Structure 1
Amino acid sequence: MVDVPELVEQARQGRPRAVARLISLVEGASPQLREVMAALAPLAGNAYVVGLTGSPGVGKSTSTSALVTAYRRAGKRVGVLAVDPSSPFSGGALLGDRVRMSEHASDPGVYIRSMATRGHLGGLAWAAPQAIRVLDAAGCDVILVETVGVGQSEVDIASQADTTVVLLAPGMGDGIQAAKAGILEIGDVYAVNKADRDGADATARELNHMLGLGEARAPGDWRPPIVKTVAARAQGTDELVEALEKHRAWSEEHGVLAERRRARAAREVETIAVTRLRERIGDLRGDRRLSVLAERITAGELDPYAAADELIAGLTGEETAG
C-alpha cells in the first residue's frame, strides 16, 4: 500500500517520481484511487489546460515542445500529457520516449508523461481527466494535452481542455479533413504549422473561409484566430501563446471557462458512474438473470428495451419503466 498523503506532499514539492507514481495509480485503476482523488481535490483547479489536436503529421509533438519552451521562458511550470496509440501487445504507449520533447527532460519545471489510449476512442486515454488533476495539484501552471492524432474521432479533447488548439499543415488535404472531422467546431485557436511550405497561405485562407461558413456569432462572441507557425524553428510560437492567452481572458470574462470546467467535472462523474455500472453488468455474465432475459428475447416474449429495464431494475432496485 502507498502512503497517499506523503506521495501527494512530495508531488506538491515538484518531485517527478511522486507525480509519476500518482499517475501510475490512476492508469492502473488502483484500489487507492479514491483516496488519491480525495487528497488531490482541494489542491487542483489552478492550472490552465491546453489541448492540441490534429491529423497525424501536422507537428503536434514539435508544437507542444515549442509551447513548453515559451511557457518556461515566462517562468511557468508546465505539465505535458502526450496521449499515444496503445501497443497491441503490452497496452503501453507506442511512442513513449517522446524524442521530440527530449530537450525538456532534464528541466525540473517540466513534467512529461506519455499515456496509452488502451483502446479508448476519441483521442484521449480514459485516465486523462484524473492525470490532469494530478499535474494540476502538483503545481503545474499550464498543462498541455497532446492527443493521439487519430483524425475524425479525436474530439474528446474539446471537453477536457480550457482552450483547444487545432493544428493543420499545408499540402495534407486538411481543409476537407477538417470538415469531415468536425474539428471546425472544437477549435478555439487554429495553427497552420509548417508555414514555410508552399500552400500555407492558401490553407489559412481556406480555413478562414470555412470558419466563416454558416457562422452565427453574436457581438462579443469568440472568433477563433488562425496563427501560422513553423514549430521546428519556434517561429510563430509567441503569437500562438498570445492567442491562447487572449482566449483564456475572454473565457474568464464571459464565464465560459467556469462553465467548461463544470461540464468537465460532470462528464467525469458520469464516466465513473457508467464504468461502475458496466462493471456490475459485466459481473452478471454467466448469471442466470441475464440468461433468462436473453432466452425471453429470442423467444419473442420480450423486447430488448424491456429486458434492459428489468436488468437495470435488478441492479438498482428501481421499478421498471412502463
Structure 2
Amino acid sequence: MQDVSSLVAEAREGRPRAVARLISLVEGASPQLREVMAALAPLTGKAYVVGITGSPGVGKSTSTSALITAYRRAGKRVGVLAVDPSSPFSGGALLGDRVRMSEHASDSGVYIRSMATRGHLGGLAWAAPQAIRVLDAAGCEVIIVETVGVGQSEVEIASQADTSVVLLAPGMGDGIQAAKAGILEIGDVYVVNKADRDGADATARELNHMLGLGASRDAGDWRPPIVKTVAARGEGIDEVVEALEKHRGWMEERGVLAERRRDRAAREVEAIAVTALRERIGDLRGDRRLEALADRVARGELDVYGAADELVAGVTG
C-alpha cells in the first residue's frame, strides 16, 4: 500500500490516480483516513465550492458540464463531485460514468468523481466533505458538487457549498411548488434552465415573486439573482459564472465566506465526534454497565435520561 505522504505529494502535482486513491480511502473509511486528513489540512482552504441542486430532469449534469467549460476557458482547474444514488446491489454510484460530462474526460485540468450516497439522506454522500478537501488540496480552484435530485427536505448541499445554485426548468409540473418548503430557502443563485421552452418566463416570474415573499432583507443583503440558461447550448452560462463571482465577492467583503466555512467545519467535527461516541456506546452491548442501567430503568428506579447521563459519563470519563 502506497504511503500517505507520497500520495498527497502526487495529488498536489495533479496526478489523477493519486487523487482517486485518496478519495477511495475517504469513501472506504480507511484506517489511514486520519493520517490523510492530517496531511491535507495545511493544503486546504483555497478552493471555491459551488453546489448544484434541483429536481430530477432539470439539467444538473448538463449545466455542470457547461460550467466546467466556462471555468476552464478562464484557466481554472476544476474538480467535480457528482453525487449519485447508490446501486442496491453494489453500493456504488448508479450514474458513475457521467455521460454528459464525458467531453472533459481527457482534460488534465478537470477531475470528475462520482460518489454514491449509500443511503445517506440529504442528497450528499457522507464522505463528500472530506472528498472536497482532497480536491482542494490537489489544486482545484473551483469544486462543483452536483447532488442527486432533491425533494422538499433534501437541501443538505447548502451546508457543504460556499455558494448554492438551485436549478429549475419550465414544464416540470409543479416544480416551484415542490421547491417551496426548502429549496427556496437555500439558493444563492437560481437558474431557470431549458429557457428555450414555453413557460420559462413565467417560471422566472413566479420564482422572483416567491423569493420576494421570503424573509425581509436589509440594504446590502444578498438578493439571489435568477438567470435563464439553455445549458445544452451553453447559453446563459457566462451569466451564471458572473453571478457566482458576484456572490463570492459579496461574501468575502462581509466575512460571510469565512463564517460559512467555520460553520461547515463545526458540523463536520460534531458529526465525527457523535459517530465516535455512538461506536463506543455500541461497544457496550452486553456490557455490565449498560445492563445494570437498563435493569434499574425497567424496575422504575431510574429514568431513561438519568440512565443516559450515567452511560455518557461512563463512556467519556
- Cα offset for 1:289? 2.6
**Per-residue deviation, 1:287:** 2.3
Are 1:4 and 2:4 matched, yes or no? yes
Answer yes or no: is the 8 Å Cα contact 1:147–1:154 preserved in 2: no
**How far 1:302 sits from its partner (Å)?**
2.8
Corresponding residue number in structure 2 for 1:26: 26
What is the aligned partner in structure 1 of residue 179 from structure 2? Answer: 178
Partners of 2:301 and 2:115 lie apart in 1 by 46
Count of aligned positions: 316
Offset of 1:89 from its aligned partner?
A: 1.8
Shift of 1:174: 1.4
Maintained 8 Å contact 1:48/1:141: yes
Where do 1:283-302 residues align within 5 Å? 283-302=283-302
Counterpart Cα distance in 1 of 2:128 and 2:247: 23
Mapping for residues 184-263 of structure 1, pairs under 5 Å: 184-263=184-263
Task: Summarize deviations over 1:78-124 as a string: whole Å, max 9, x none.
Answer: 00000111112211111111111111111100000001111111111
Question: 1:2 Cα shift?
Answer: 2.9
* 1:14 match: 14
The one-letter code matched in structure 2 to 1:112 is I
1:175 CA displacement: 1.4
Q: Which residue of 2 aligns with 1:272?
A: 272
Taking only the aligned residue pairs, the percentage that are identical comes to: 85
Q: Is contact 2:152–2:180 with CA below 8 Å preserved after alignment?
A: no
- TM-score, normalised to structure 2's length? 0.97
Please name the residue that 1:51 is paired with: 51
Corresponding residue for residue 320 of structure 1: none
- 1:248-305 CA distances to partner (integer Å, 9 max, x unpaired)? 0101001101111111111111111111111111212232333333333333333322
Distance of 2:291 and 2:206 partners within structure 1 = 56
Assess, with a 3 A threshold, how the Cα gap between structure 1 residues 102 and 214 changes in structure 2: closer, same or farther: closer
In the alignment, what sits opposite 1:107?
107
Give the superposition deviation at 1:154. Answer: 2.2
* Residue matched to 1:149: 149
Q: Name the CA distance, whole Å, in 2 between partners of 1:252 and 1:91.
A: 39
Deviation string 1:125-157 (CA, Å, 9 cap, x unpaired) is 111111000000000010000011132232111
In the alignment, is the contact (CA less than 8 A) between 1:170 and 1:199 conserved in 2?
yes
2:74 matches 1:74: yes
State the secondary structure of the residue aligned to 2:106. coil
What are the superposed Cα offsets for residues 175-197 of structure 1, whole Å, 9 maximum, x if unpaired?
Answer: 111112x1111100000111111
CA RMSD of aligned residues (A): 1.2
Deviations 1:226-247 (CA, angstroms, capped at 9, x unpaired): 0011111111101100100100
| Contact 1:98 1:114 (8 Å CA) reproduced | yes
Structure 1, gaps ≥5 residues long: 318-322
**1:95 counterpart SS class:** coil
| Secondary structure of 1:185 counterpart | helix
